[in-house]
């Protein structure tokens, strides 16, 4: 077994964790040294499976001696051979312009050393640990990870100081920001907890330890942070002043104050001493005489100095929370407490939580806040109720953050190769450095998330380990004929760069119309490689269920159109929760059915409507491609509706379309799955029938009927705006029919193995609604068969519809009638006219079933409409 060690040299502590090299790494043991700034130092050592050992060490007073003591315990107490430690990760607070982790060599060591002036409490401590490692663990590779790296995304207008920009550039005088490893660990953990991709998270994170800072994270990147050129700026700390008026330096002592007015005496001004005072002799140590904030909390009610330290820190925290809330435009997913104080002080959390309620943050729940210490989860939600602005506590883990990068690399290279690297001369160590840097540059995919973008350099994406994952890709630009990128996936840890060259367990993800997916096991993680991508945009999704990118086999549904409107439905996504009644409670739904209760968390659909002349069908048939195409028209109404037994659908009423135009429709589910295309045609400009839908007692009606224009400002009719003259007789017929039907012993005796009385009632309802709501046809676009069209008036079947207007009615499909005949008990006497004799007088005959009687219609046998939404007879939908 080989191990990875992570060392985190904080200003008052040294935290060390040992991990195995699995992916993700398992913690083997932890050790810490705290109170370095207030001796005697406290040392702890704990194997995960045994009790913690505590010691007060009078001979340990700095990070180097603490680390040496730890190594002793590692071999003597834990019996771990130090030769089995293959890599040591070091948290280095200031990395200057280093943005990636580096393998420690002479150059890197001196770079970190040079930056020590800018992190006087930290870089020196990290270097001391690194030095101890180089001498005592000569076979292990030391790798430095930088706190500053996370903040490279801070824009120049925020990171610049208002000073001479030439000097600022020459000397690197700008805001760097710190606690970056902690912030990336928190971002990863909260993203997992809230089930949101890191790139969609906006957070205000408080890292409150001996050094305290705040970070404003916008879409997963640091936008601003309270520390600056050095970790002295921003919030006060255990021994640090935090932000002060810079002139204070010249007025801190009488001497300095006097000198500042007298140039001749300026030689006595010791700026370095000022820096030392502000870094090491200020903060709550200077105010309350302790570096232990827990002590301040305990003393504050009796001790005004402790109260001042508490009030001062919380006041400065609020300054940052307020301004970062504003910078995020109020769009904040969470306020997160972390660091020694943030994770342990319920008093501070309660105080800040109460103050930020006015910004819309969820109230902090007293019990949840008090019980954080008893929870073992990484993220604990202390909000009183679920809300958009949660208040969370996150146990940050800078050591794990570093170890994960290294074990990821090891899993890609294979332990053996890393071990053999260790015996190679320095020149080849540079190779490892290059491999490490490129491994860092590889984009990591996360389960449940989609990675958008172009090909990164190098063009590889790492996949986390999991028993079973579906990797899906979608090409977001080009046509189905243009050359597409090729995607290769491997689940073998011995293949680091899968591609067309093959290799162990390399599989190509074959694309179809821009989509592709591969499902398999990833016990050691994996890699996706991309070839021939050029400038093509694409997405890669990782899921432990069905592939994130998919074509949905059920297309969207077209209801009906007018000259400028269209009624469209998504594919069904939630099965109806209707159970047929059983004996003895054989109660059928009432005639005046009320609308069913829609599902509380419907699937999110987006609909795209585009003139067919725009040729959307020749483009890549992926959501990311189609979403870039402008949808025509305006969604005037949007809602959930269950029109048939297939279940709930989204319903959209589009307005603003052009008459007599062919349109193409897609529905996109949850941003990534595509349903469609379907096509429809708008009616001619003279078409005057308005659309009717969402009628609870006739749920399947969704088409144009011969009614006057709906009253302003309505654009269509629904159940509430229909005249009583239509609904009244219909509901009373349904009620009477239902009463007659329940006299039949539907449930007691087996009425039919195929149908029930509930089926009979549903079929009758559909038939009655079809008869009661005539469907208008467009004379111009309807099939040529005049036999299907009944000019109105005077022959309106339903006298409630106003006579006199100029429209053409489609005859009901005969099959809507025969379906009722088939489903209902004989004694009800429901009969339909015979196709052989008089059916064609009042029904459209021969369009759905071509008919045993040999009756052939003019439409497509077996269908009541064509692919462009032209309808041959009124089926009632």
Ligand X SMILES: Nc1ncnc2c1ncn2[C@@H]1O[C@H](COP(=O)(O)OP(=O)(O)O)[C@@H](O)[C@H]1O
Ligand Y SMILES: CC(=O)OP(=O)(O)O
| Nearest distance, CB of residue 10 and Mg ion, angstroms | 4
Q: Are 239 and 282 in contact (CB under 8 A)?
A: yes
Taking CB under 6 A as the binding criterion, the range among 207-215, 577-585, 683-691, 859-867 that sits at the site for ligand Y is: 207-215
From 206-214, 368-376, 484-492, 654-662, span contacting ligand Y (CB under 6 A): 206-214
Residue 673 corresponds to which tokens in the numbers above? 């799955």
Annotated binding site for Mg(2+): 8, 398
Bridge partners of 22, per DSSP, are none
| Closest to ligand Y by CB, 179 or 515 | 179
The catalytic position among 100, 147, 333, 381 is 147
292 binds ligand X (CB under 6 A): yes
Query: Rounded to an integer, what distance in angstroms lies between the CA atom of residue 133 and that of residue 14?
Result: 14
Return d(Cα 776, Cα 691) in angstroms, integer. 10
Q: What is the spatial distance between Cα 464 and Cα 452, in angstroms, rounded to a whole number?
A: 17
Residues 6+ apart with CB under 8 A from 537: 452, 453, 454, 475, 476, 477, 624
Residue 738 sits in the site that holds ligand Y (CB under 6 A): no
Residue nearest to ligand Y (CB): 211
Q: Which does 178 bind (CB under 5 to 8 A by kind): ligand X, ligand Y, Mg ion, none?
A: ligand Y
d(CA 496, CA 529): 9
Q: Which of residues 207-236 bind Mg ion (CB under 5 A)?
A: 209
Helix (H, G, I), strand (E, B) or coil at 453: strand
In the list 101, 120, 198, 209, the residue contacting ligand Y (rule: CB under 6 A) is: 209
Collapsing DSSP to helix, strand or coil, 106 comes out as helix
* 183 binds ligand Y, rule: CB under 6 A: no
What is the sign of the dihedral through the CA atoms of 255, 260, 262 and 267?
A: positive
By CB under 6 A, residue 291 contacts ligand X? yes
Task: Print burial letters for 715-738: b (CB count within 10 Å at least 16), e (below 16).
Answer: bbbbbeebeeebbeebbebbeebb
Instruction: Establish if 10 lies at the interface with ligand X (CB under 6 A).
Output: yes
The annotation places the binding site for ATP at 15, 207-211
Q: Which is nearer to ligand Y, 147 or 292 (CB)?
A: 147
Contacts of 183 (CB under 8 A, 6+ apart): 150, 205, 207, 215, 217, 222, 225
State in angstroms the smallest separation of the CB of 55 from ligand X: 18
The Cα–Cα gap between 869 and 866 comes to 5
7 by DSSP, 3-state: which?
Answer: strand
d(CA 489, CA 470): 11
8-state DSSP, 255: H
Phi-psi region of 179 (alpha: psi -120 to 50; beta: other; left: phi over 0): left
Contacting range for ligand Y; rule: CB under 6 A; set: 209-217, 625-633, 805-813, 847-855: 209-217
- As to burial, measured by CB atoms within 10 angstroms (0-12 exposed, 13-18 middle, 19+ buried), residue 221 is middle
CB 52 → Mg ion: shortest distance, Å?
19
Could you give the CA distance from residue 834 to residue 818 in angstroms, rounded to a whole number? 10
CB of 168 to ligand Y, least distance (A): 22
Binding to ligand X (CB under 6 A) within 349-378 occurs at none
Q: Does 390 bind ligand X (CB under 6 A)?
A: no
Q: Cβ closer to ligand Y: 9 or 811?
A: 9
- Report if residue 515 touches ligand X, rule: CB under 6 A: no
Q: Could you say which DSSP state residue 710 is in?
A: P
The dihedral built from the CA positions of residue 479, 480, 482 and 484, taken in this order, carries a sign that is positive
Contact call for residue 812 and Mg ion (CB under 5 A)? no
Length of the chain in residues, anyone? 877
Q: Is 64 or 832 the residue whose CB approaches ligand Y more closely?
A: 64
Cβ-based nearer residue to Mg ion, 93 or 701: 93
Neighbouring C-beta atoms of residue 151, cutoff 10 Å: 25
DSSP string, 317-383: HHHHHHHHHHHTTT--SEEEEEHHHHHH-HHHHHHHHHHHGGGTPPPBPHHHHHTGGG--SSEEE-B
Cβ nearer to ligand Y, comparing 178 with 193: 178
Q: Is 120 in the site for ligand Y (CB under 6 A)?
A: no
- Under 8 Å between Cβ of 539 and 452: yes
Which residue, 297 or 445, is less far from ligand X as judged by CB?
Answer: 297
Which residues, including other chains, have CB under 8 Å from residue 755's CB and lie 6 or more apart?
A: 822, 823
Q: Say how far apart CA 31 and CA 45 lie, in whole Å.
A: 4
Q: How far is the CB of 70 from ligand Y (least distance, A)?
A: 17
Binding residues for substrate: 91
Positions in 227-256 near ligand X (CB under 6 A): 238
Phi, psi of 181, rounded to the nearest 5 degrees: -65, -35
Site residue total, ligand Y (CB under 6 A): 11
Query: Is the distance from CB of 109 to CB of 32 less than 8 angstroms?
Result: no
Q: Which of residues 127-146 bind ligand Y (CB under 6 A)?
A: none
Cβ-based nearer residue to Mg ion, 145 or 558: 145
CB nearer to ligand Y: pick between 10 and 835: 10
Residue 516 binding partner per list Mg ion, ligand X, ligand Y, none, with a CB distance cut-off of 5 to 8 Å that depends on partner kind: none
Among 4, 5, 7, 10, binds Mg ion (CB under 5 A): 10
Stretch that binds ligand X, among 10-18, 265-273, 463-471, 795-803 (CB under 6 A): 10-18
> How many residues sit close enough to ligand X to count as binding (CB under 6 A)?
18
Among the listed ranges 45-53, 261-269, 285-293, 528-536, the one in contact with ligand X (CB under 6 A) is: 285-293
Bind-site residues: 8, 15, 91, 207-211, 398
Residues touching Mg ion, count (CB under 5 A): 2
Nearer to ligand X, 397 or 669 (CB): 397
Query: Could you say whether residue 211 binds ligand X (CB under 6 A)?
Result: yes
Strand partners, 144: 90, 102
The binder of 231, among ligand X, Mg ion, ligand Y, none, by C-beta within 5 to 8 A per type, is ligand Y
Look up residue 794 and give its two tokens.
């005077």
Radius of gyration of the chain (CA): 36
The residue whose Cβ lies closest to Mg ion is: 10
Write the CA distances from 138 to 83, 123, 132, 203, integer angstroms: 9, 21, 9, 41
| Distance of closest approach, residue 65 Cβ to ligand X, in angstroms | 17
User: Is 10 near ligand Y (CB under 6 A)?
Assistant: yes
Site for ligand Y in 224-283 (CB under 6 A): 231
211 vs 876, which CB is nearer to ligand Y? 211
The rounded Cα 578 to chain-centroid distance in angstroms is 33
Taking the complex as a whole, the smallest distance from the CB of residue 491 to Mg ion amounts, in Å, to: 37
Give yes or no for residue 338 binding ligand Y (CB under 6 A). Answer: no
Q: Is 532 marked active-site?
A: no
| 344 forms part of the interface with ligand X (CB under 6 A) | yes
Residue from 93, 474, 528, 848 binding ligand Y (CB under 6 A): 93
Under the binding rule (CB under 6 A), the answer on residue 180 touching ligand Y is: no
Positions in the binding site for ligand Y (CB under 6 A): 10-11, 93, 122, 147, 178-179, 209-211, 231
Binding site for Mg ion (CB under 5 A): 10, 209
Residues near ligand X, by CB under 6 A? 10-13, 209-211, 238, 291-294, 297, 339-341, 344-345
Positions marked catalytic: 147
């Amino acid at each position: 077994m080989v191990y990875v060690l992570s060392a985190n040299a904080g200003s008052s502590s040294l935290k060390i964790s040992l991990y195995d090299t699995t992916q993700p790494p398992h913690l083997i043991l932890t050790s810490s040294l705290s109170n370095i700034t207030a001796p005697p130092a406290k040392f702890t050592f704990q194997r995960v499976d045994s009790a913690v050992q505590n010691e007060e060490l009078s001979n340990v007073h700095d990070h180097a001696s603490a680390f040496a003591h730890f190594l002793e315990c590692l071999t003597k107490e834990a019996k771990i051979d130090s030769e089995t430690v293959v890599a040591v990760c070091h948290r280095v607070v200031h990395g200057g312009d280093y943005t990636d982790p580096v393998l420690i060599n002479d150059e890197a060591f001196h770079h970190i050393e040079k930056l020590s002036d800018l992190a006087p409490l930290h870089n020196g401590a990290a270097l001391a640990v690194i030095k101890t490692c180089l001498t005592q663990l000569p076979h292990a590779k030391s790798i430095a990870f930088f706190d500053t790296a996370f903040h490279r995304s801070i824009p120049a207008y925020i990171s610049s100081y208002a000073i001479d920009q030439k000097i600022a550039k020459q000397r690197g005088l700008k805001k760097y920001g710190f606690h970056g490893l902690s912030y990336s660990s928190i971002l990863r953990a909260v993203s997992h907890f809230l089930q949101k991709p890191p790139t969609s998270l906006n957070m205000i994170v408080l890292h409150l330890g001996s050094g305290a800072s705040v970070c404003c994270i916008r879409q997963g990147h640091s936008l601003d942070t309270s520390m600056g050129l050095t970790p002295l700026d921003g919030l006060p700390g255990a021994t640090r002043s935090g932000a002060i008026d810079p002139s204070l330096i010249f007025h801190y002592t009488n001497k300095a104050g006097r000198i500042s007015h007298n140039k001749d005496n300026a030689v006595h001004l010791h700026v370095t001493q000022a820096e030392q005072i502000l870094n090491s002799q200020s903060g709550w140590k200077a105010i309350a005489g302790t570096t232990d904030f827990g002590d301040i909390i305990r003393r504050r009610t009796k001790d005004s100095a402790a109260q001042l330290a508490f009030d001062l820190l919380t006041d400065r925290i609020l300054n940052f929370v307020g301004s970062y809330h504003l910078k995020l435009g109020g769009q904040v997913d969470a306020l997160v407490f972390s660091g020694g104080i943030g994770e342990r002080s319920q008093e501070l959390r309660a105080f800040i939580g109460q103050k930020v309620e006015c910004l819309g943050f969820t109230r902090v729940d007293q019990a949840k806040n008090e019980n954080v210490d008893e929870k073992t989860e990484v993220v604990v939600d202390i909000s009183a109720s679920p809300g958009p602005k949660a208040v969370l506590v996150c146990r940050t883990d800078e050591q794990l953050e570093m170890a994960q990068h290294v074990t990821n690399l090891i899993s890609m290279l294979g332990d053996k190769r890393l071990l053999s690297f260790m015996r190679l001369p320095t020149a080849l160590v540079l190779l490892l450095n290059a491999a490490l840097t490129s491994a860092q540059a590889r984009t990591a995919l996360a389960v449940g998330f989609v990675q958008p973008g172009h090909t990164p350099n190098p063009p590889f994406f790492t996949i986390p380990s999991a028993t079973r994952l579906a990797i899906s890709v979608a090409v977001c630009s080009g046509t189905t004929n243009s050359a597409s990128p090729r995607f290769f996936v491997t689940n073998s840890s011995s293949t680091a760069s899968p591609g067309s060259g093959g290799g162990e367990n390399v599989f190509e993800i074959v694309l179809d119309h821009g989509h592709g997916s591969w499902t398999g096991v990833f016990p050691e993680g994996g890699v996706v490689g991309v070839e021939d991508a050029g400038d093509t945009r694409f997405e890669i999704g990782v899921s432990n269920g069905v592939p994130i990118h998919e074509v949905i086999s059920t297309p969207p549904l077209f209801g009906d159109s007018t000259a400028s409107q269209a009624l469209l439905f998504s594919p069904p996504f939630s099965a109806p929760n209707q159970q047929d009644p059983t004996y003895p409670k054989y109660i059928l739904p009432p005639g005046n059915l009320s609308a069913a209760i829609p599902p509380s968390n419907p699937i999110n659909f987006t609909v795209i409507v585009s003139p067919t002349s725009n040729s959307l069908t020749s483009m890549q048939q992926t959501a990311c491609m189609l979403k870039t195409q402008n949808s025509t028209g305006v969604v005037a109404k949007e809602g959930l509706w269950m029109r048939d037994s297939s279940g709930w659908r989204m319903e959209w009423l589009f307005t603003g379309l052009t008459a007599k135009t062919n349109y193409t429709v897609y529905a996109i589910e949850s941003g990534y799955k595509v349903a469609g295309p379907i096509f429809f045609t708008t009616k001619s400009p003279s078409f005057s029938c308005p659309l009717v839908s969402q009628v609870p007692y006739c749920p399947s009606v969704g088409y144009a009927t011969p009614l006057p224009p709906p009253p302003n400002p309505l654009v269509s009719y629904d159940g509430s705006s229909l005249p009583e003259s239509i609904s009244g007789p219909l509901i009373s017929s349904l009620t009477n029919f239902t009463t007659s039907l329940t006299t039949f012993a539907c449930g007691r005796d087996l009425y039919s193995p195929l149908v029930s009385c509930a089926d009979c009632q549903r079929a009758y309802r559909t038939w009655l609604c079809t008869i009661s709501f005539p469907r208008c046809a467009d004379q111009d676009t309807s099939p040529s068969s005049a036999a299907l069209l009944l000019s109105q008036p005077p022959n309106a079947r339903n006298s409630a519809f106003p006579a006199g207007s100029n429209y053409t009615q489609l005859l009901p499909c005969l099959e809507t009638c025969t379906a009722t005949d088939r489903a209902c008990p004989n004694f009800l006497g429901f009969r339909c006219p015979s196709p052989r004799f008089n059916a064609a007088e009042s029904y459209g005959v021969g369009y759905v079933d071509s008919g045993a009687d040999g009756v052939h219609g003019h439409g497509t046998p077996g269908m009541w409409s064509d692919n462009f939404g032209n309808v041959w007879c009124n089926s009632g939908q």
